[in-house]
C-alpha cells in the first residue's frame, strides 16, 4: 500500500487572508523560505493560494493585448478579459487581488502517487491539504514527494 500525503505533508502551516497586504505575504515567503501560502477566509476555509508565480506579475508588468481599429470599433486579437485579470494582479495591493482563487487541494489520505500525478498534470509545485470542511491542515510540495521517493 502506498504512503499517503499525511506521512509527508508539512503540518506547520502558515496561512494568509485575502485582506492581508502583499508586503506581509512577501515577507512571510522570504523569511520562511517557502514558495506559497494557502489563503483562507474568516471561517478558516481555503479560498485560494498565493505563490511566487502570482507575485511575478508585479515585476514583469502587463502588455496591452494587440488590437486593431476597424469601422470605429476595436477588434482584439487576444481576450481583453485576460489583460484585465493580469493588470489587476500586477497592480494588486492585497493577497485577494493577486492570489490564484479556487486552489486545487487534496485530502490527507491521498496517496503520494495520486498527489504527484495531480501536481504534474496541473503544473503545480505545492498542494494544500484540507480536512472535510475545506480547512487547510497542511501542505505538500514537490520536494516532499522527492524526499519520500529518496526514503523508499
Domain ranges of the chain: 5-151
CATH number for the domain formed by residue range(s) 5-151: 3.10.580.10
Q: What is the pairing mode between strands 46-51 and 36-40?
A: antiparallel
Q: What is the pLDDT of residue 65?
A: 57
Q: What is the pLDDT of residue 2?
A: 72
CB atoms within 10 A of CB 87: 15
Residues in the chain: 152
CA dihedral 3, 144, 34, 82 (to 10 degrees): -80
Q: What is the pLDDT of residue 60?
A: 53
Question: Mean pLDDT per 10-residue run, the chain (152 residues)?
Answer: 88 95 92 94 96 72 59 64 56 83 95 96 95 96 93 84
Q: Which residues contact 142 (CB under 8 A, 6 or more apart)?
A: 119, 125, 126
DSSP 80-143: HHHHHHHHHHHH--BHHHHSEES---EETT-BHHHHHHHHHHHT-SEEEEE-TTS-EEEEEEHH
Grid cell for residue 144: 516532499
Q: What is the pLDDT of residue 77?
A: 58
Q: What is the pLDDT of residue 44?
A: 96
User: Does the pTM of the predicted model rise above 0.85?
Assistant: no
Amino acid at each position: 500500500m502506498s504512503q499517503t500525503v499525511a506521512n509527508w505533508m508539512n503540518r506547520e502551516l502558515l496561512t494568509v487572508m485575502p485582506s492581508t497586504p502583499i508586503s506581509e505575504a512577501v515577507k512571510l515567503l522570504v523569511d520562511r523560505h517557502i514558495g506559497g501560502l494557502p489563503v483562507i477566509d474568516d471561517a478558516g476555509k481555503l479560498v485560494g493560494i498565493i505563490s511566487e508565480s502570482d507575485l511575478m506579475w508585479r515585476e514583469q508588468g502587463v502588455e496591452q493585448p494587440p488590437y486593431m481599429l476597424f469601422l470605429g470599433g476595436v477588434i482584439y486579437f487576444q481576450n481583453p478579459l485576460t489583460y484585465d485579470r493580469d493588470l489587476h494582479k500586477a497592480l494588486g495591493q492585497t493577497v485577494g487581488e493577486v492570489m490564484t482563487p479556487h486552489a486545487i487541494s487534496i485530502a490527507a489520505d491521498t496517496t503520494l502517487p495520486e498527489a504527484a500525478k495531480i501536481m504534474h498534470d496541473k503544473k503545480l509545485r505545492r498542494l494544500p491539504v484540507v480536512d472535510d470542511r475545506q480547512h487547510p491542515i497542511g501542505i505538500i510540495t514537490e520536494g516532499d514527494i522527492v524526499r519520500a521517493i529518496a526514503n523508499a
